[in-house]
Amino acid sequence: MMCFDSENEEERISRSSRRDSRARRVNTMEMWKRGTLDDRPIKERWSREFKKPKVKKIKDPTEKFDSAALEGLVLEVHRRTCVVRLLGGEVINATYRAAVVHELKEFPAVGDSVMVARAKDAEENAPYSLLRVLPRRSSLVRPGPKDKSRRELVLAANVDQVVVVSSVAEPPFNYGFADRFLLAANLCQLPLVMVLNKTDLVENLPQGVQDFISIVDKFICVSCKSGAGLDALRDVLKNKCSVLSGKSGVGKSSLVNALVPGAALNVGEVRSLDGKGRHTTTSSSLFELPFGGRIIDTPGIRELGVAEMDEHDLARSFPGFFHNDIFTCKYNDCMHLNEPGCDVLARVRSGEIPQARYESYLRILHSEN
């Protein structure tokens, strides 16, 4: 019996000793993390029994790179990698790690100015790593996936203007899409240029097209097939960074091929069953214009929501509803649905505001952005 008690006592003392050792080890590590232990670039690590102290040098975060950071311009963005053109002209692939994205709270976008460096443990197809994205002077955004924490995705960065390409036929002009892009450009404080393609297919512009171009500051009629209007488009794009957007099948790729010799983008045909375009551009790409300036060709997208916009702000700022952006409805919170004294409804009934524009407003108002 005495032997049994002695064994229990020894075991109890051993457990207590291990607990004390772990506590001392944790307290020391906490002190080191808080900076109250010392400022030397070393730390002590102990075995489980607090014996045999070892000294380990703290890794310098810059040690994983072979060279100094270099500045470059993002030409394309893919999953985990992006194509970057360095200031010297060399085009390289760079990986962007989760830590960089977490620090930025944003993924890199085409048109971004970034800092990259060659990594020691780099993959063969991407020898550089993206260190940081330099501040943006402007951006065109769209809503992100509804199940993600980031509600906005940047389509293009550091742009001077938005160029929306629409076709007057095959596929027909889409009123709702043009309204969404005009509204998105206004929210991002970017000027919008409307380019009407395939004008060789019609003798006169449809009434819906005429109604829309009456509210935009600048529009250009072009035909990639005949070349009409391309010189006027070059003048608008010269010495500016423009983002080219539009629905699939309207001729963005054909325009890029006409403006940038050697681009050789794939051109898709319009589907005969539903008249919708085929996606030929799968990711945004930046091209240098031979006459000066840049264009960012974005994928053809069938929908563009308006991110983080209150429904009352939408009602007060919808393009084409008010002259000189002066709200003229009787009530300040008028949503233009069935409220008394609504100036918008009165002008829709009189024909001053096209019915197609009002229906476009309703679709955006009731959509889940």
298 labelled as ligand-binding? no
In residues, how long is the chain? 369
Q: SS3 for 294?
A: strand
Q: Which residue has the tokens 């009407």?
A: 196
342 labelled as ligand-binding? yes
CA distance 282 to 311: 32
* Residue 298: Cβ within 10 Å count: 21
223 labelled as ligand-binding? no
82 labelled as ligand-binding? no
Q: Pick from 239, 203, 202, 199: which is nearest to 219 by CA?
A: 199
78 labelled as ligand-binding? no
248 labelled as ligand-binding? yes
272 labelled as ligand-binding? no
CA distance 215 to 53: 75
Q: Pick from 276, 285, 281, 278: which is nearest to 266 by CA?
A: 281
CB 279 within 8 A of CB 248: yes
Question: To which H or E segment does residue 237 belong?
Answer: helix 230-237
324 labelled as ligand-binding? no
Q: Which two tokens stand for residue 135?
A: 């501040």
252 labelled as ligand-binding? yes
* Residue 101: Cβ within 10 Å count: 16
CB 184 within 8 A of CB 191: no
83 labelled as ligand-binding? no
197 labelled as ligand-binding? yes
200 labelled as ligand-binding? yes
47 labelled as ligand-binding? no
First to last CA, the chain: 77
DSSP 352: S
247 labelled as ligand-binding? yes
188 labelled as ligand-binding? no
Q: Is the dihedral of CA 131, 158, 90, 252 positive or negative?
A: positive
27 labelled as ligand-binding? no
336 labelled as ligand-binding? yes
Q: Which two tokens stand for residue 109?
A: 């976008």
Query: Binding site membership for Zn(2+): which residues?
Result: 329, 334, 336, 342
Query: Binding site membership: which residues?
Result: 197-200, 246-254, 329, 334, 336, 342
Query: Binding site membership for GTP: which residues?
Result: 197-200, 246-254
